[in-house]
């Protein structure tokens, strides 16, 4: 019973958090239809991370930028490995909790951090265009 309550709270937290960070409708639908099944939820997290990574790569390789934005883009690209290390290290702490809960929390952390990276890149490039 305790696990069901924790899972319900986790799903609610993901839904609220997903709306705040503008996760895809596909992700929100996937989580809702996962029925609390660990493998399904992990699959949803993996797919959303892949979608966000694709958006980041598209943003970084876009040819629509000019002037100062190109300079900013160069600097952003230099930080890619550092961001990957940051995400890996900061999210891996959850594994110490053990079990499926830890895997879900770690996966959620990776998706959150990757979404924050995308937003950071978009905001920086927007500011550089002013």
Q: Distance (Å, rounded) from C-alpha 1 to C-alpha 33?
A: 20
Beta-carbon contacts of residue 70 (< 8 Å; ≥ 6 apart): none
Interval 17-51: pLDDT, tens: 444 678 999 999 999 999 999 999 999 999 999 99
- Confidence at residue 20, expressed as pLDDT on a 0 to 100 scale: 62
Domain boundaries, the chain: 2-128
Compute the C-alpha angle 87/93/99, nearest 5°. Answer: 120
Which pair of structure tokens corresponds to residue 68?
């100062």
In this prediction, the residues of the chain whose per-residue pLDDT falls under 70 are 1-20
HEC per residue, the chain: CHHHHHHHHHHHHHHHHHHHCCCCHHHHHHHHHCCCCHHHHHHHHHHHHHHHHHHHHHHHHCCCCCCHHHHHHHHHHHCHHHHHHHHHHHHHHHHHHCHHHHHHHHHHHHHHHHHHHHHHHHHHHHHHCC
The architecture CATH gives domain 2-128: Up-down Bundle (1.20)
**Which pLDDT belongs to residue 128?**
87
**Residue 104 · residue 41 · CB < 8 Å:** yes
pLDDT (0 to 100) of residue 22: 84
> pTM higher than 0.85, yes or no?
no
Q: What is the pLDDT of residue 76?
A: 92
Give the pLDDT confidence score for residue 5 in this predicted structure. Answer: 42
Please report the pLDDT score of residue 113 as a whole number.
Answer: 97
């Amino acid at each position: 019973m305790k696990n069901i309550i924790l899972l319900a709270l986790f799903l609610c937290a993901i839904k609220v958090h997903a709306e705040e960070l503008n996760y895809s409708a596909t992700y929100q639908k996937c989580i809702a239809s996962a029925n609390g099944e660990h493998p399904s939820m992990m699959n949803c997290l993996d797919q959303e991370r892949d979608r966000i990574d694709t958006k980041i790569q598209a943003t970084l390789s876009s040819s629509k930028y000019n002037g100062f934005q190109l300079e900013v883009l160069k600097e952003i690209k230099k930080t890619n490995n550092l961001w990957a290390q940051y995400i890996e290290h900061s999210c891996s702490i959850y594994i110490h909790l053990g079990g499926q809960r830890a895997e879900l929390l770690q996966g959620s952390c990776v998706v959150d951090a990757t979404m924050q990276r995308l937003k950071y890149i978009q905001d920086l490039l927007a500011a550089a265009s002013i």
